[in-house]
Structures are given as C-alpha cells and as structure tokens.
C-alpha cells in the first residue's frame, strides 16, 4: 500500500502537464479473444453461452478468462477540470445559501421596519394626547383642591368623607371622580408611551436575534435531503451536480481499488502527477532541494522543489541521499550537464532553511515546514535504485551523485577530530571549495 501523496507546495504555481493514459496491447489476449469469439460463434469447446455475457462486469465476474480479454489500461482524470467543477458547485451552493439568507434578512428587516414605524407613530400620537390629558388632570385636580384642600397633597388625591359628600350634596364625590379619572387617564397614557419606547429600543436586538435564528434554520434546512434535493433540482445546478457526482464516484472507486491493491504503481504515479501538478525533472533545476521521497507502490522518486515552488520527480537513487540537506543547481553548459551547491553572492552556503524562507514569506509557516522537512530527512533511505526514464535523467542523476559524494566527504572531514598543525582545516576548506564548483 503506497503512502498517500503529500506536498509542501500547497499554493504552488500550476505546471502544465499532459498525462497520456497507458494502453498496452496484449497480443496473447487478442489471440485468445479471437479464439473465444470463434468458439462462441460455432458453439464448440465452450458449451452453453455465459449468462449475461453482454454485461462486461457480470461476464468478468463469472468468467475468469474475461479479464484476459481486457487490455491493461487506466484513465487519469483531469484534476484541474474536476477541481473547477467541484469549486463551481461549492460556490453555487454557498451563493444559494447566501441568497436565501439575504432574502430572509430583507424580509425580517422589512417586518421590523414596519413595527418601528408603527411604534413611532403611536408614540407621537400619545405625546399629542399627553398635553391635553395633563391639562385636564390639572384642571380637575385644582377644582377638587380648591374645595377640599386637605384631600390633595404631593402623594395624590384622596376621596372625600361620607358627611363631606352628604353636606355638599354629592359635589365632593363628583369633583373627586373627575380628578381621579383624568389623573388615571394621564398615567395610563404615559405608561403606554414608556412601553412603546422600551419596545422601540428592543427592536434592534430582537431583529438581530431573528436574523441569526433564521440563518441557522436555513443552513440546517440545506443539510437535509429535502433541502439539497430542492437545490439540485434547479435547472442551472442539475447538470453541474451530475458531473460532481461522477467525480466523487470516480474518486471513491479509486480509493476502493487502492485499498484492495488493484491499482498499479504506474497509475498511482501518473494520478499523483496530474493531481498535484508535478513534472519529471528536466534541466535546468536551479536552487532545488530534495523535499521528500514520493513512493507510489513499487516506484520511488525524489521530489524536488525549486524556489518558484514548482515540484519535480527524479528517479530515486540512494547515492543522492547525502544531498537531502543541501540546496543545489543542475544545468547544462557547453552541451554538458553540470551540478553544484547553491551559494549566496558573498560565497556562503545557501541553506535549506533559507530556501524555505524565500518560498514562504510567512516566517512562522516557513519555520514549521522546515521543521517537518528536518524530521523527514532520515525517512525512506536506502531504497532500491529506480532505473532512469531516459539518458537525460540518467545524466542528471550521475552529476548529482558525484556532487553527493563530495558533500558526504566534506561532512566526514568536518566530523573528524582536529589534527596538529591545522591540516584538517585546510583539507576541509579545500573540499568545500571544490564542492561548490561545477561538475
């Protein structure tokens, strides 16, 4: 089971690739197919025809010879196109949800705007009646106070006594009732105004809560089968949804085949190249590092990364392992291939940490990725060498192998204890200087 492909270059620039599916004709399979076809026609040698022979899947399942008839081939999906389809579907779904939420917000805002305008009108009308009722309450209270001053104080008005009402022939009761009714009407009006003002102040909070609840309701409704079915039934979405479903089905089928061990190493490699926008290593490779070892079944490749975040595959060779912590250039000069360690303008070594800092301007992310790179330096070492794809790649590997030998020798000199007379330092300096020259 191959390891899942991973790449540091999440936002790497796109590299144009043309992946051609492998189609290998099986001569023996073609001959056997012809024999079987003739046998089926004349009815000899095979007995009764297979049930469901018209269905390739049923025929392959029931007749083990049917797999021989099918040539070994596979199709690599166009991941860029698939990604555009999936992105378009996701954007359409998000846009549909946003539109539904926006429409709901507009309706809620319109409803609360009507409530606000109604409350404002009622408050204005109450203020107009307040002056009239206040004047009526003051007039009736003053009349009652003039006739019966001991029944009116700062705490309000009090009802007259029994004999006061009798001796005044009911006038005291009438004045009290008039003042009491006018005062209660004024207080009722003011209480209503305060309630409406409080409601007006609470409208904004209520509207915001209503919008949040409606937004959550819409999102939950879109998670239900009925909500998604309504979205997928839209004319502009139906075709896109079918294409996305085919993409998901193809990826699920591939995952199942991979789990069952039915995916060839070549298909894993070609699929990863298409999905992650990789390319085979070609000259020149400037300021490159060995990012990792990419393994696809029985195939192993060095995954190189340059400063422009483009990544390349180079057939694995254990002789190149010493270059895992180096930055190097490989280029053509005078019709020959040359390789050297990358150096700064002042002659100092260009380190792998500097490579990460240049690739990722976010220093925290650069340090995090460099830490992961350091942790993976010792992984996947000593694997069997892969045969080069062609002579050009073989020449690149040979030049890098020579450079790796020099780097390994320089590291060995650095690890030796210092000798008398400073001979070791001189040798180390000379070796390091040579390792920076073109090979």
Statement: residue 136 has pLDDT above 60 = yes
- Beta strand 311-315 pairing with 279-280: parallel
Statement: residue 419 has pLDDT above 60 = no
- Collapsing DSSP to helix, strand or coil, 55 comes out as coil
> For the chain, what percent of residues have pLDDT higher than 70?
77
261: tokens are 């061990």
Task: Check residue 414 and give its pLDDT.
Answer: 63
Task: Check residue 380 and give its pLDDT.
Answer: 87
Task: Check residue 141 and give its pLDDT.
Answer: 83
Burial class of 414 by CB neighbour count within 10 A (0 to 12, 13 to 18, 19+): exposed
* Distance between CA atoms of residues 341 and 285, nearest Å: 12
Q: What φ, ψ does residue 42 adopt, rounded to 5°?
A: -90, -5
Q: Which of 34-48, 116-130, 312-326 has the highest mean pLDDT?
A: 312-326
* Distance between CA atoms of residues 358 and 103, nearest Å: 46
Question: Which residues are CB-contacts of 434 (< 8 A; sequence separation ≥ 6)?
Answer: 406
- Residue 342 DSSP label: -
Domain ranges of the chain: 81-232, 278-351+379-435
CA angle centred on 213, ends 212 and 216, rounded to 5°: 85
Partners of residue 338 on adjacent β-strands = 331
Question: Which residues are CB-contacts of 1 (< 8 A; sequence separation ≥ 6)?
Answer: 258, 259, 261
For residue 314, the tally of other CB atoms under 10 A from its CB is 25
Partners of residue 293 on adjacent β-strands = 302
Task: Check residue 412 and give its pLDDT.
Answer: 67
Residue 237: alpha-carbon gap to chain centroid? 21
pLDDT tens string 69-93: 333 478 999 999 999 999 999 999 9
CA distances from residue 435 to 161, 201, 323, 328, 400 in whole angstroms, order as listed: 120, 78, 12, 10, 11
188: tokens are 């009722």
Question: Which residues are CB-contacts of 412 (< 8 A; sequence separation ≥ 6)?
Answer: none
CA angle centred on 326, ends 426 and 281, rounded to 5°: 135
């Amino acid at each position: 089971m191959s390891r899942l492909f991973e790449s540091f270059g999440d936002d790497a620039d796109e590299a144009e690739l043309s992946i051609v599916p492998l189609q290998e004709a099986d001569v023996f399979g073609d001959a056997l197919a012809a024999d079987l076809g003739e046998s089926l026609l004349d009815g000899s040698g095979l007995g009764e025809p297979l049930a469901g022979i018209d269905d390739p899947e049923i025929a392959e399942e029931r007749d083990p010879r049917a797999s021989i008839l099918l040539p070994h081939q596979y199709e690599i999906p166009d991941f860029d196109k698939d990604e555009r389809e999936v992105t378009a579907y996701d954007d359409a779904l998000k846009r549909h949800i946003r539109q539904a939420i926006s429409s709901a917000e507009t309706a809620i805002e319109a409803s609360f705007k009507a409530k606000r305008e109604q409350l404002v009108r009622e408050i204005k009308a109450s203020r107009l009646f307040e002056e009239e009722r206040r004047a009526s309450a003051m007039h009736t209270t003053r009349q009652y106070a003039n006739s019966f001053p001991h029944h009116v104080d700062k705490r309000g008005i009090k009802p007259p006594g029994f004999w006061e009402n009798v001796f005044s022939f009911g006038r005291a009761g009438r004045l009290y009732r008039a003042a009491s009714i006018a005062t209660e009407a004024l207080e009722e009006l003011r209480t209503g105004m305060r309630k409406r003002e409080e409601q007006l102040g609470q409208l904004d909070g209520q509207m915001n809560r209503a919008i949040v609840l409606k937004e959550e309701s819409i999102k939950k409704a879109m998670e239900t089968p009925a909500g998604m079915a309504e979205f997928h039934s839209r004319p502009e979405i139906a075709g896109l949804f079918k294409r996305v479903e085919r993409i998901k089905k193809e990826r699920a089928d591939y995952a199942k085949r991979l789990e069952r061990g039915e995916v060839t190493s070549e298909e894993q490699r070609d699929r990863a190249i298409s999905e992650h926008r990789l390319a085979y290593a070609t000259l020149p490779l400037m300021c490159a590092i060995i990012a990792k070892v990419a393994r696809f079944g029985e195939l192993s490749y060095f995954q190189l990364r340059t400063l422009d975040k483009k990544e390349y595959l180079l057939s694995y060779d254990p002789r190149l392992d010493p270059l895992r912590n180096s930055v190097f250039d490989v280029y053509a000069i005078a019709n020959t291939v040359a390789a050297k360690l990358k150096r700064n303008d002042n002659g100092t070594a260009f380190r792998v940490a500097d490579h990460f800092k240049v690739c990722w301007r976010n220093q925290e992310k650069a340090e995090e990725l460099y830490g992961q790179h350091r942790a993976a330096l010792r992984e996947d070492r000593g694997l069997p060498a892969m045969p080069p794809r062609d002579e050009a790649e073989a020449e690149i590997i040979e030049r890098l192998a020579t450079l790796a030998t020099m780097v390994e020798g320089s590291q060995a000199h650095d690890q030796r204890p210092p000798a008398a007379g400073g001979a070791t330092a001189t040798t180390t300096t000379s070796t390091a200087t040579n390792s920076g020259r073109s090979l």
